[in-house]
Amino acid sequence: MGLKDVKDLSMDTGVQQMLAKAREEGIDTAFDRAAKMNQCGFGSTGVCCKHCLEGPCRIAPNGKGAQTGVCGANVDTIVARNFLTTVTEGTASHAEHAREVAHAILEAVEGKAPYAIQDEAKLKAVAQGLGLNTEGKNVNQLAKEVAIKALEDFQKQHGTLNWLKFRANSKSVENWKKLGLLPVNAHLEITKAMARQVMGGDADPTNLLLGTVTMGLVDGYAGLHMSTDLQDILFGTPKAVKAQYRLGVIKKEMVNISVHGHIPLLAEKVVEWAGKLKDEAKAVGAQGINVVGVCCSGNELLMRKGVPVATNYASQEMPIITGALEAMVVDIQCIMPGLQTVASCYHTEIITTLPYVKMSGATHVEFSTERADEAAQEIVRKAIANFKKRDPRKISIPNEVTEAYAGFSVEQIVEALKAVNAEDPLKPLVDAIASGQILGAVALVGCTNPRVKQDSSNVALAMELIKNNVLVVATGCSAHSLGKFGLLSPDGLQYAGESLRNILTAIGQANGLPALPPALHMGSCVDNSRIADLLNALANYLGVGIKDLPVAGSCPETHHPKALAIGTYFIANGVDVHVGVNPQVTGSELVVNVLTAEKENFPVTTDGLFGGKLIYEEDPVKAAEIILNRIKAKRKALGLS
Ligand code: XCC
Ligand code: SF4
């Protein structure tokens, strides 16, 4: 099969340019590998089971051939169980992220790690939310108590996750309690989920799907919320910041280091040491050191430090192909093993940092919070040493750079609204929704996927929504897509419906800006917690449940199990979640109906139990129409026109 035209692989002209360069140099990228890899029909529909050595068993489509596995498991059990496996993987990733940060805070306040608490106000707010007495305690004492509360969520044997009790909407909690879904501790629930997936474990498909909901709650509270809260405490709560996007942020005359992965513990230190060691870079003939972001580490640094973002998931190999990247430092998640193969054609050094995420052929500099400074220095010095190893014939950096705004934490959004109504900051937003000036809100989240034309579905869906006066908030790699195509900038309001444009202009002007952008960048994937916090605040203000709000979530170009875990968390709260990529469950009618409520009067559906459902639609324009109709139905139920 011939390779696709690079114009059909990404909307980003810089990425197209690098893809063409890679092909000329005989280098394989994820986009070309995707074209060569046929997707298996059994795996694509979720009907292949590998849970024991009697298999693999796979169920033939249309009733022709074997309809049960060797053990007798039918297609519904197999699909539901595979879905639980996927959601468990995603949840484990986020729980491990949160636990690492909790541990870092403990080390920091005990003087064992070189970090200091940056946001005392957030610390106090989180401590109070967790029910801690804050009176007369100094910062380190309080931070220690918060970290211990966090670590309890990985240890306690009774009760409910502390972070769930702190952050969840009370109406949602009542519902989960009634259904017996409340998680005790993250490790216990992840272990239990693994145990129920095992051969001869849970075979009831509906029960397995309810198990995924508990996983979703672990993901939400012991993953997303805990990570965001603790990172804000340790590194500061984001404020609006000017940002730059695209491969043009890589600078020819500088030592370029990209940070890639998710946990900001290392990334923050790399930025710090890049500043401190710039004279050493000058000594080798560079003008300085330029740190650029990739994926969610990029988002974390962008939100708090204004560090420019080079690229998102699907095109993570492209910074190397510019020939001007001295080092790519990675921690966990979304790091393609193919990076090292590409890097071996250039002078770029891939540096892994965690003992449980290594790559053969890459350099490993072990990172731990205790030796954070040493590790970051070593990494920056390696990058400096690589500057002289560049091959000038291989350097070609696309020159486009797009300007955007990021940093819209809930705290920042409330601050901006205070300029309109100091006493009652949520009122202007609620009034605009009630009057229909803002039809509703959609969270555009998730990834890019080399099987989908990069950025195209993210951008098309966002355009369609803002045209219809829907406010878009964005996180993760999809926020990069919107940033690159002008939707995180006030200029993007030219694509917005008139009433949305008017209100965002008014709020912006009250804050001394020309306008707010039509899409607000709220952070990394764990920062989907910020979106949930905003929804919780709006629901409480109106005295309704989150499920009643005219809102939805969408991940048009997802690729990662984490996205399905996050999606499950939002569905459990009654928010519809659209996915634009095959969720690999279509082999079971039962599973499809439980998740999507496609068939009327199906006995058990997530829509019936929680008020939110899965929407699977690959065409972004059709997906926007479905989302808009659901938003309108939820408005109507609230008595709004
Ligand atoms: Fe990964 Fe977070 Fe997806 Fe990007 S958005 S591809 S999960 S880096 Ni999270
Ligand atoms: Fe086959 Fe059952 Fe084993 Fe799965 S658990 S591989 S369906 S025998």
CA nearest ligand 1 atom 7, residue: 560
- pLDDT computed for residue 3 by the predictor: 85
> Interior CA angle at 462 toward 583 and 477, to 5°?
60
- Of ligand 1's listed atoms, the one at least distance from the Cα of 262 is 2
Cβ burial of 543 (10 Å; 0-12, 13-18, 19+) is exposed
**Distance from residue 446's CA to the centre of ligand 1 (Å):** 6
Q: Is 555 one of the annotated binding-site residues?
A: no
Q: Is 71 one of the annotated binding-site residues?
A: yes
- pLDDT tens digit string along 462-498? 999 999 999 999 999 999 999 999 999 999 999 999 9
Give the residue from 326, 328, 358 showing the smallest Cα distance to 260: 328
**Following DSSP, what letter does each residue of 45-111 receive, concatenated?**
HT-EE-SSTT--EEPPGGG-S--B-TT--BHHHHHHHHHHHHHHHHHHHHHHHHHHHHHHHHHHHTT
Q: What is the mean pLDDT of the segment spanning 378-393?
A: 98
CA nearest ligand 2 atom 7, residue: 69
Q: What is the percent of the chain where pLDDT is above 70? A: 100
CA nearest ligand 1 atom 6, residue: 447
Q: How far apart are CA 481 and CA 156, in angstroms?
A: 40
**CB contact at 8 A, 556 and 458:** yes
- pLDDT tens digit string along 556-590? 999 999 999 999 999 999 999 999 999 999 999 99
Could you tell which of 444, 477, 484 is best to mutate to test the pocket of ligand 1, judged by most ligand atoms within 8 Å of the CB?
477
Q: What value of ipTM does the predicted structure carry?
A: 0.96
- pLDDT tens digit string along 521-536? 999 999 999 999 999 9
- pLDDT computed for residue 1 by the predictor: 55
Q: Determine if ligand 1 sits within 6 Å of the CB of residue 560.
A: yes
Q: How far apart are CA 405 and CA 407, in angstroms?
A: 7
Instruction: Indicate the pLDDT class of residue 398, thresholds 50, 70 and 90.
Output: very high
- Of ligand 1's listed atoms, the one at least distance from the Cα of 299 is 2
Q: Helix, strand or coil for residue 523?
A: strand
CA nearest ligand 2 atom 2, residue: 71
- Of ligand 2's listed atoms, the one at least distance from the Cα of 70 is 8
What distances in angstroms separate CA 63 from CA 75, 203, 588, one per listed residue?
10, 20, 12
Could you tell which of 70, 82, 84 is best to mutate to test the pocket of ligand 2, judged by most ligand atoms within 8 Å of the CB?
70
- pLDDT tens digit string along 496-511? 999 999 999 999 999 9
- pLDDT computed for residue 290 by the predictor: 98
Q: Is 40 one of the annotated binding-site residues?
A: yes
Q: How far apart are CA 395 and CA 247, in angstroms?
A: 13
- pLDDT tens digit string along 413-450? 999 999 999 999 999 999 999 999 999 999 999 999 99
CA nearest ligand 2 atom 3, residue: 52
**Distance from residue 197's CA to the centre of ligand 2 (Å):** 11
Q: Which ligand is nearest to the CA of 67?
A: 2
At residue 315, does pLDDT exceed 60? yes
Q: Catalogue all structural domains in the chain, each as residue range(s) with its CATH number.
A: 85-235 (1.20.1270.30), 247-394 (3.40.50.2030), 404-637 (3.40.50.2030)
- Of ligand 2's listed atoms, the one at least distance from the Cα of 52 is 3
Q: What is the mean pLDDT of the segment spanning 211-219?
A: 98
- Give residue 361's region: left, alpha or beta (phi > 0; psi -120 to 50): left
CA nearest ligand 1 atom 2, residue: 296
Q: Is 49 one of the annotated binding-site residues?
A: yes
Instruction: Indicate the pLDDT class of residue 641, thresholds 50, 70 and 90.
Output: confident
Q: How far apart are CA 284 and CA 384, in angstroms?
A: 7
**CB contact at 8 A, 509 and 481:** no
Q: Which ligand is nearest to the CA of 478?
A: 1
- pLDDT computed for residue 2 by the predictor: 74
Q: Which helix (H) or strand (E) holds 472?
A: strand 470-475
- pLDDT computed for residue 274 by the predictor: 98
- pLDDT computed for residue 236 by the predictor: 98
